[in-house]
């Protein structure tokens, strides 16, 4: 595995590659969820590029940019063990200049749910992902379904800008007790982590209710709220794959999304129906 830190080196290497490229963009602190993305990219491409970059433009004032987990040595070892070909580790000054051409997320999709609570967040996400796509020029790029709204916006960007990249949707990875894997889970105390299990329990309960032919989103939401009654729930949302709000579950076209604060840690999770 080769570690790359400059744009010039990455561009030269990319010019020399004629076979298929799979790309996995990350912010580091790699866990089994990231590893599953990398392994899928490894199985489907000749060359795998992983980037680690904690992108400042997607963090709002007061969020955890400065304390976001950084484990470069451990992350590098994980990438090496997963047989990554190239690991891109840029600095902020490498990725951003003083006079930026800005990317704006579409108003409707990016200012609901996560975007409503984190205004401008998705502008920063799309900005950095577009830059990374331009540098790595992948055939396929891999993203987890846990960040469902982000995934939908990236797919729309690729389509709208005619980028010709296959966006591969990868399943959510969970701990054995059901907690969705997240780099922010390290912030949880043992008690908070136990409390957070109500999130996945509520989603599994929703799936069970739907399996019994209850498709009314209001009824499903009430069940979920009961399960998460001890948590600080920011939202429980029901949308179709286009992120339009729905009142009735549409099988094979619905997503139930949850955002919760556990202590000072904000967690998101979802289930695709």
* 104, 168, 255, 234 alpha-carbon torsion, rounded to 10°: -50
146 is in an annotated binding site: yes
Residues with active-site annotation: 34
Sheet arrangement for strand 140-144:
2-4, 86-88, 47-52, 21-26, 140-144, 166-170
Annotated binding-site residue? 58: yes
Count CA atoms closer than 13 A to 160's CA, side-chain side: 12
28 among the known binding-site residues? yes
The closest of 61, 269, 49 to 149, measured between CA atoms, is 269
Q: Is 184 annotated as a binding residue?
A: yes
Q: Is 181 annotated as a binding residue?
A: yes
182 known member of a binding site: yes
* Closest alpha carbon to 149 in 121, 168, 186, 175: 121
115 is in an annotated binding site: no
Any binding-site annotation on 141? no
Annotation-wise, does 144 bind a ligand? yes
Q: Does the annotation place 34 within a ligand binding site?
A: yes
H helices, E strands: number in the chain? 10, 9
Angle at 80 between CA 79 and CA 84, to 5 degrees: 65
- Please provide the distance, in angstroms rounded to a whole number, between the alpha carbons at the two ends of the chain: 38
57: nearest Cα among 92, 6, 109? 92
**27 labelled ligand-binding:** yes
Say whether 197 counts as a known binding-site residue: no
Return the structure tokens found at 206.
């929703």
Residues making up the binding site for beta-alanine: 58
**Binding-site residue set for (R)-pantoate:** 58, 150
User: Residues at the annotated binding site?
Assistant: 27-34, 58, 144-147, 150, 181-184
Annotated binding-site ranges for ATP? 27-34, 144-147, 181-184
């Amino acid at each position: 595995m080769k570690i790359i830190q400059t744009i010039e080196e990455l561009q030269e290497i990319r010019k020399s590659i004629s076979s298929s490229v799979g790309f996995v963009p990350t912010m580091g602190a790699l866990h089994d969820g990231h590893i599953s993305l990398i392994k899928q990219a490894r199985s489907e491409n000749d060359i795998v590029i992983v980037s680690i970059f904690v992108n400042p433009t997607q963090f709002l004032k007061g969020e955890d940019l400065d304390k976001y987990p950084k484990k470069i040595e451990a992350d590098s070892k994980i990438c090496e063990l997963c047989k990554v070909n190239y690991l891109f580790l840029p600095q902020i000054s490498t990725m951003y200049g003083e006079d930026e051409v800005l990317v704006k997320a579409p108003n409707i999709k990016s200012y609901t749910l996560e975007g409503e609570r984190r205004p401008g967040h998705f502008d920063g996400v799309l900005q950095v992902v577009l830059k990374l796509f331009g540098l790595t020029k992948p055939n396929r790029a891999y993203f987890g379904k846990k960040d469902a709204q982000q995934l939908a916006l990236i797919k729309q960007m690729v389509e709208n800008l005619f980028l010709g990249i296959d966006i591969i949707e990868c399943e959510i990875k969970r701990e054995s007790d059901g907690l969705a894997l997240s780099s922010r889970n390290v912030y949880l105390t043992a008690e908070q982590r136990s409390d957070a299990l109500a999130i996945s329990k509520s989603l599994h309960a929703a799936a069970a209710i739907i399996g019994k032919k209850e498709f009314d989103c209001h009824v499903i939401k009430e069940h979920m709220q009961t399960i998460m009654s001890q948590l600080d729930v920011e939202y429980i949302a029901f949308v179709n794959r286009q992120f339009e709000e729905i009142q009735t579950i549409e099988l094979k076209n619905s997503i139930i999304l949850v955002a919760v604060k556990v202590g000072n840690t904000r967690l998101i999770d979802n289930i695709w129906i």
